[in-house]
Amino acid sequence: MRAAVYYNNNDVRLEKMTRPKIGPGELLVKVMASGICGSDVLEWYRAPKAPRVLGHEATGEIVEVKDEFRRYKVGDRIFVSHHVPCNKCRYCLNGHHTACETLHKTNYDPGGFAEYIRVPKINVEHGVYLLPDDLLFEDGTFIEPLGCVVRGQRLARVQKGDSVLILGSGVSGILHIQLSRFLGVRRIIATDINEYRLKAAKKFGADAVLHAEEDLPERLRQLNESRLVDRVVVCTGAISASKQALKCVDRGGTILFFAVPDPSFYIPIPITDFWRNEITITTSYGAAPKDLEESRKLIRERRVNVHDVITHRLGLGEIGLGFKLVAEAGESLKVIIEPQR
């Protein structure tokens, strides 16, 4: 079979691999669509583990089954979660499923940017989601990224009546905008340095968009009844955005670091001011099973428009272009790879 092997953002090679063989309790899936995530082009995160086959937003069709419980059958259309928790450890039992050691060790074989993947038994047990017949494979790839957004907004306690600032209007920013709108947020303000993405943010539901180089605290007061915002969601690894977030949150508010900068950067937190004003800083990583279930429901019921976020559909042989589009963050949003093309 063919698979795309990642070496760095500018070196993603189409290589031949042996099609995986499955064991008891496992599935073999023909990958129909797999999205390129923004985290796939973070070289500080990905390159140290290269070479490897990336792709963790895979949907496809089951072509072989060794499932003793007969939960799934050949021909089933599914989304597969790459990381799954054990659901037994103290972290899982306390609701921190994405801090589970098992979650960080699980994956499918070899990765979503391949023609076929082997789904290990633990992933079959805790990470397979049937797709409705009327849901396109490409739309199903959003179950994971939207699930991450669902988790982030739940942890940040985004709720009806809030004002929300979203720093970065790439795919995750667009999904945060749409989920905030669904939750009944009073005012959504989005930023970016890219005019194409600012227009997209407006299209997908932002009440106002600001160029990231503006004086954000001053502009927020103009747009939000002389106040800063209740929730700030950082959706970019840009250092400038991390610094801006600290200046844009209102008293009693919350900053969610959904994306983070290079680990060499340390954020200078004005802790005394935050202490006096009861400001919360929180993070979110990945998605737990209940987040993925909620995401699937939102997509199935068309509560969040994921289909129109897709700007490029490419075959496996064009994956180098796909990585270039995502890394450059120019006139593109979601790039979907279709390995069977």
pLDDT in tens, 84-139: 999 999 999 999 999 999 999 999 999 999 999 999 999 999 999 999 999 999 99
Decide if pLDDT at 196 tops 90.
yes
SS3 18: coil
Taken in order of first residue, the domains within the chain and their CATH numbers are 2-144+287-338 (3.90.180.10), 157-283 (3.40.50.720)
Decide if pLDDT at 165 tops 80.
yes
| Nearest to 147, CA basis, from 76, 83, 238 | 83
Q: Beta strand pairing status for 116-119 and 128-130? A: unpaired
Could you tell me the two tokens for 270?
């004005």
Instruction: Supply the pLDDT for residue 70.
Output: 79
pLDDT > 70: what percent of the chain?
99
SS3 321: helix
Q: Report the 10 Å Cβ neighbour count for 265.
A: 12
Distance in angstroms (rounded) separating the CA atoms of residues 236 and 169: 8
Spatial CB neighbours of 264, under 8 Å, sequence gap ≥ 6: none
Instruction: Give helix 239-248 / helix 216-223 axis angle, nearest 10°.
Output: 40
Q: Report the 10 Å Cβ neighbour count for 251.
A: 13
Distance in angstroms (rounded) separating the CA atoms of residues 291 and 149: 9
Decide if pLDDT at 67 tops 80.
no
pLDDT tens digits along 16-30? 999 999 999 999 999
Could you tell me the two tokens for 299?
């997509």
User: What does R_g of the chain's alpha carbons equal in angstroms?
Assistant: 20
In this prediction, residues 152-173 reach a mean pLDDT of: 98
How far is residue 135 CA from its own chain's centroid?
Answer: 19
In this prediction, residues 50-67 reach a mean pLDDT of: 95
Distance in angstroms (rounded) separating the CA atoms of residues 94 and 176: 25
Cβ(152)–Cβ(168) below 8 Å:
no
Altogether, the residues listed in the chain come to a count of 341
| Nearest to 193, CA basis, from 212, 206, 179 | 212
pLDDT tens digits along 275-327? 999 999 999 999 999 999 999 999 999 999 999 999 999 999 999 999 999 99
Count how many Cα atoms sit within 13 Å of the Cα of residue 169 in the half-sphere of its side chain.
29
Q: What is the mean pLDDT of the chain?
A: 96
Could you tell me the two tokens for 282?
């929180």
Distance in angstroms (rounded) separating the CA atoms of residues 264 and 120: 35
Distance in angstroms (rounded) separating the CA atoms of residues 232 and 124: 36
Decide if pLDDT at 269 tops 90.
yes
Distance in angstroms (rounded) separating the CA atoms of residues 269 and 251: 15
| Nearest to 220, CA basis, from 235, 207, 203 | 207
Cα angle, residue 225 at apex, residues 221 and 226 outer, rounded to 5° = 40
pLDDT > 90: what percent of the chain?
96
Under the banding of pLDDT at 50, 70 and 90, the label for residue 329 is very high
Q: What's the Cα-to-Cα distance from 152 to each of 5, 145, 175, 183, 340, rounded to whole Å?
A: 30, 11, 11, 13, 33
Give counts: helices (H), strands (E), the chain.
Answer: 13, 15
Between residues 42 and 246, the one the model is more confident about: 246
Under the banding of pLDDT at 50, 70 and 90, the label for residue 69 is low
Spatial CB neighbours of 241, under 8 Å, sequence gap ≥ 6: 167, 168, 191, 212, 234
